[in-house]
Amino acid sequence: MCSISEKRLIKQTFRFELDPNRAQRVMLAKSVGASRFVYNWGLAESQREYELTGRRPRLSELKSRLVELKKTECPWFYEVSAHISQQALVDLNWAFERFFERLKSQGPKSGFPRFKKKGRHESARLYEVSLEARHIRLPMIGRVRLKETRAERGFDGRILSATIVRRADRWFAALAVEREREVVVAKPVKRASDVVGVDLGLTSAAVIHDGTETRTLEASRRLRKNLTKLRRLDRQLSRKQTGSRNREKAKLRRARLHYKVSCQRNDFLHKLSSELARTKSVIVLEDLHLKGMQRNRSLALSISDAAMGGLRRQLAYKSEWYGARLVVAGRFFPSSKTCSGCGVMKETLSLHERVFHCSACGLSLDRDENAAINLRRYGVKELGIVPLPEGLREVTPDREEGSGSTLGRRAKPASVTQEATARRARGTTRRSTPNGVLVRFRGGTNHPAEYPHPRGPRSRGQSDESASGPSG
């Protein structure tokens, strides 16, 4: 597929794992401790003044009070970089602004700022950072060795800031970089397989339909596979005395397991999102209310383990890099309740019904596959791809089951010649799969989603009466 690319100035993050010595570990721990202390101090000061005066102190006022605090009560602040404490107050101010935007119903949902607990929020932001071939220079800390070279990561650009993070007793430096990147501009839709509908689920990580075939990617379930070991580590931790060295060791063992699970999950998501963004022109997802879904106690663990929000976040920025278009269907779009063969929509469909049965046309199809077909059709209609490439003439939902009201019109083929050509061209889609991902193929070249006939697909030599399904 030929595509036009151009260089754009973008912001990107590179994360390097540090290999500090014992003295540098102490300085890194002091840095993240100072950041947490200043954030909690600023939050306490804001709450106290609001209770007395009814107003929150401004950012400049908190910075002035912090200077006095350094001189009188906390001289140990001078052992770490001044950027850390200043940036902690900036982060606190951002947290308050996001909370007030939520109250005005103008921004994303963010709760009231909370105090940071030691061991959970271990990060600090620094400036004036320089990166060498195998080392990074941090203010007040010095020259810290990296576990991988700059050339291995393909690092390039101007460093804006560095965020020091500790996780499972491992130190990382996330560098926010401004760089020129070659970005592919809007890949054209030339084939039917360039548009895919992706239905995310729990039994299957994703069901992908590209017009000719359906791929089912098995769920990794990394957390559930390690759940027995995690519970054993939790029991070991509960038996340790509070404040003892053995308790700290048990906490570290549990943190390392959580880190391993998250790395395995992110590896799977990155492979899937990169494969879709590189090879497809249009990717269609649906907007899922994940927080509401997690209120179901029976499914909360599986929903958290699937990390559906992480896949959507990765597809959002990778689509811009590789020239794909990400279409997100509305939260109330009936992708699972609509028949992909005739367009009839069911009134209700419980979660236990894993196979979709249509009483109007007799179509029997896997629930997730049916939703993926409808999502792909939604993307074609939403983008208004005209003239439609071969194989993209689809059926739109036209009425609700049990009623005669019309909800929409069926998409008509551009011409009789193009429709005949599309039928001959089915089945020529290339199959591409991310490495290490189990894939199960379903469906065939004569899939009901590719036929504009209201009663479903017809094989060669089959009449309209026989295509309507088994009779009563």
CA 216/CA 208 separation, integer angstroms: 6
Closest CA to 373 of 188, 199, 193, 190: 199
Residue 464 is among the residues annotated as catalytic for this protein: no
> How far out from the chain centre does Cα 64 lie?
39
With the C-alpha atoms ordered 123, 128, 133, 134, is the resulting torsion angle positive or negative?
negative
CA 456/CA 359 separation, integer angstroms: 12
* Tokens 């599986």 belong to residue: 302
Tell me which of 286, 390, 394, 398 is the catalytic residue. 286
How far, CA to CA in Å, does 300 sit from each of 22, 177, 261? 40, 36, 17
How far, CA to CA in Å, does 189 sit from each of 3, 323, 385? 11, 11, 8
Tell me which of 368, 369, 394, 398 is the catalytic residue. 368
Which tokens belong to 470? 């088994």
Tell me which of 194, 199, 390, 394 is the catalytic residue. 199
Cis link prior to 387 (omega < 30° from 0)? yes
How far, CA to CA in Å, does 355 sit from each of 239, 368, 371? 47, 8, 11
Which amino acid appears at position 33 of this protein? Answer: G
CA 411/CA 413 separation, integer angstroms: 7
Q: Which residues pair with 207 in a beta bridge?
A: 199, 216
Which tokens belong to 260? 């391993």
How far, CA to CA in Å, does 121 sit from each of 37, 234, 281, 372? 11, 20, 39, 39
Residue 286 is among the residues annotated as catalytic for this protein: yes
Residue 20 three-state SS: coil
Longest dimension (CA), the chain: 92
Residue 386 three-state SS: coil
CA 220/CA 201 separation, integer angstroms: 12
Which amino acid appears at position 198 of this protein? Answer: V
CA 35/CA 112 separation, integer angstroms: 19
CA 339/CA 400 separation, integer angstroms: 10
CA 106/CA 99 separation, integer angstroms: 10
CA 388/CA 195 separation, integer angstroms: 11
For the annotated catalytic residues, the residue numbers are: 199, 286, 368
